[in-house]
Amino acid sequence: MERLGVLSGTFMLERSDWIQKGKKHRIQNAWGEATAVETDSIIFILRHGDDPADYILPHRVNHPANLQALKDLGVTEVVGINSTGSLKRNLQPGMIVIPDDFIVFTPTPTIFHSEPIHVAPSFNEPVRQKLIAAARRIDLNVVETGIYWQTTGPRLETRAEIRMMSGFADIVGMTLASEAVIALEMDLPYASACSIDNFGNGLVEKPLSLEEIIAGTRNNADLMIRLLEEYVHR
C-alpha cells in the first residue's frame, strides 16, 4: 500500500492520535539517524526529535537522514508541515499557506559533494495541488500561493530583517527550503503546508515572544491534522 511521508514538528506528537498510536523507531542510514513513526497510511518524521526536552534546533536538523529514511521506507510523496511567521499583515495567525516558491541566501544541505549536479529547486506541483484541494474540501482558511523565506535560526529575525523580507516574501521559517532541496535531490515528490503561527518580529506593535509562537504552533497543529486526514482520505 502506498504511504505518505510527513515531516512535522514536535507539537504534532502531542496532538495527533496517529503519532501517539503509531510504531515509533529510530532509523540509521548513511546520513545519520531519524526518528520515524509508522502508521497504516502515513510515516511521520519528527524533524526536531520525539523528546521536547531534547529538542533538535532548526540549524541542527539532519535533513538528508530524515528524507533518506522516508525514501527507504517506500513513501511515494512527502508533505512538510512547517511552522511560519507572517511577513504580511493580511496573512494572520491561524491561516495556512501552500507556498509555490522559496528564498534562502544561506547554504542549504546537499547529498552531492563531488558530482557535477545542480538541481533547480521547486515544489512538486501535483502534491501542492492535492494539498490545496484537501484544504478546500474541509473549508480551511488557505492561501494557495506564497513565497517562503528561510533563515538559519535558531534566533528570530530582527525588525529590520522582517521589513526587508516583507518586500519579497510572505512567510518566514527555518526548515522548509532545506527539506525541499534534499527531497528534490532524492527524487521524492515534496510540497509543504505552512501554518502561520505568529506575525514576524516588529510587523505589529505587540512584541513577539516565544510563548506566543509556541501557543500558535499548538493551536494550528489541530488544523494540520485535519488537513492530513483529508489528504490521506482522498
Q: What is the pLDDT tens value at each position of the chain, 234 positions in all?
A: 578 999 998 766 566 677 777 888 899 999 999 989 998 889 999 899 887 788 899 999 999 999 999 999 999 999 999 999 999 999 999 999 999 999 999 999 999 988 888 888 999 999 999 999 999 999 999 999 999 999 998 999 999 999 999 999 999 999 999 999 999 999 999 999 999 999 999 898 887 777 777 777 777 888 999 999 999 987
Q: Shortest CA distance to 83 belongs to which of 139, 138, 169, 150?
A: 150
Q: Kindly tell me the burial class for residue 34, based on how many C-beta atoms sit within 10 Å of its own C-beta (0-12, 13-18, 19 or more).
A: buried
Q: Which residue in 218, 55, 112 sits closest to 47, CA to CA? A: 55
Which stretches of 104-206 are assigned E, i.e. beta strand? 142-143, 147-150, 171-173, 190-199
Predicted pLDDT of residue 1:
56
Burial class of residue 121 in the structure, from the number of CB atoms within 10 Å of its CB (0-12 exposed, 13-18 middle, 19+ buried): middle
Q: Which domains can be identified in the chain, with CATH numbers?
A: 4-233 (3.40.50.1580)
What gap in Å lies between CA 180 and CA 190, rounded to an integer? 6
What is residue 9's DSSP assignment? -
pTM value > 0.75 = yes
| pLDDT score recorded for residue 177 | 97
- Residue 12 has what pLDDT? 64
Cβ distance 193 to 164 under 8 Å? Answer: no
pLDDT of residue 210: 74
Q: Which amino acid is at 1?
A: M
Question: Contact at 8 Å (CB) between 174 and 152?
Answer: yes
How far is it, in rounded angstroms, from Cα 133 to Cα 233?
12
Task: Please report the pLDDT score of residue 13 as a whole number.
Answer: 58
pLDDT (0 to 100) of residue 169: 98
